[in-house]
Amino acid sequence: MMIERGKILIADDEADIRELLGDFLEGEGYECLLASDAFEAMDIFKAHPDIDLVMSDIRMPGKTGLDLLGEIKDLDNDVMVIMISAVKDIESAITAMSKGAYDYVAKPFKLTEVGLIAKKAIEKRKLVLENKEYQKRLEKMVAERTMELKNALYKLDQTYIFTLRALVIALDTRDEETQGHSLRVVRFTLKLAEILGIRDEKLLKVIEYGSLLHDIGKIGIPDAILKKPGKLTALEWDVMKTHPSVGYKILHQIEFLEEASQIVLSHHEKMDGSGYPLGLTGDSIPLGSRIFAVADTVDAMTCERPYRGALTFEDASNELLRYSGIQFDKQVVEAFHSVPLEFWKQERKIMDQKFFDNDTDYIL
């Protein structure tokens, strides 16, 4: 028994021709379906979605082969269509090919010629379908690999976050005077960034990490200086002022913290160049550091210290205005004052409660 090589729909209003073609092609191993006009052909086509090839006469009553071609291509553009034309109607056959027909044969034709064209058409159809199936498998494989990569990156991010949490908690535990400061200043800094219209997720992460780890360099400062209750000597102050550089050295070798390390290095710079350690001025100070400077000052002033009580947010507001353009970026100061002070007071209460509850999940 001959293996079926494909399914062919033959549409021709001349019974002798469609039956001749049907008998010949069935003898070549194809399954053939016959239609006497374009209307019947369309009904058969819709009922048999596995048709590989349509052979249609161009001139048929009621609806032409060109009309049938258009309807078939609308339903399934991958189906091959061969037009059958009279010698005098070659122009229409060429038009059909420009509209998507695979080829045409002219009457009178040789059956061997028709068989060869049909064979090539179905081979092309199968190749197109195989390529589409391969593309689907490839897209599925890419989607699966992409998801695996996303999951791996998520797990890596979680590892980074746990590491950062541990660093911050260790630092806060060592410096009791400023416990919770790093976490509060992150929230203030990100709120200011939001008010300033920063939407770039990568930049926001850099600002977040830099703000969170701004004092990581204090790990390298001796306890005798870090925890000294009185005023530091000039020499001790010089040592204390090394903590931005120490923090930078710790972080800049870690790839995902390299950009954040620039904020750590420059978080004590001032707009007029009087800051440290580099004496940067104006826009040469990273944007994240300029935003952080305002957030850091607000939190530091409104926190209680052993040597003074907590100042009010009104006091902090006045300090920002007094040193706007000197110590602080004017645009960031304006962003701070663009919302009511009650907003910042409420943010502070939220963070104090989380810290009191030991809710470390809110870190990052």
Q: Which amino acids are annotated catalytic?
A: 218
Q: How far is CA 288 from CA 254, 285, 293, 298, 322, in A?
A: 19, 8, 9, 16, 21
- Measured distance CA(286)–CA(68) in Å, rounded: 67
153, burial (CB in 10 Å: exposed 0-12, middle 13-18, buried 19+): exposed
Q: What is the DSSP letter of 233?
A: P
- Helical ranges in 58-200 per DSSP H: 65-75, 90-98, 111-174, 181-195
- Which of 186, 190, 250, 188 is CA-nearest to residue 218? 250
Q: Hey, what's the torsion of the CAs at 257, 262, 263, 269, to 10 degrees?
A: 160
- Measured distance CA(312)–CA(294) in Å, rounded: 15
Q: Are 183 and 351 in contact (CB under 8 A)?
A: yes
What is the side-by-side order of every strand in the sheet holding 53-57? Answer: 31-35, 7-11, 53-57, 80-86, 103-107
Token pair 């590989």 is at which residue? 52
Q: How far is CA 2 from CA 27, 28, 31, 48, in A?
A: 9, 9, 11, 21
- Measured distance CA(327)–CA(26) in Å, rounded: 90
- Measured distance CA(344)–CA(337) in Å, rounded: 10
Helix or strand (DSSP H, E) at 356 = helix 341-356
- Measured distance CA(198)–CA(312) in Å, rounded: 28
The token pair that represents 60 in the structure block: 């048929």
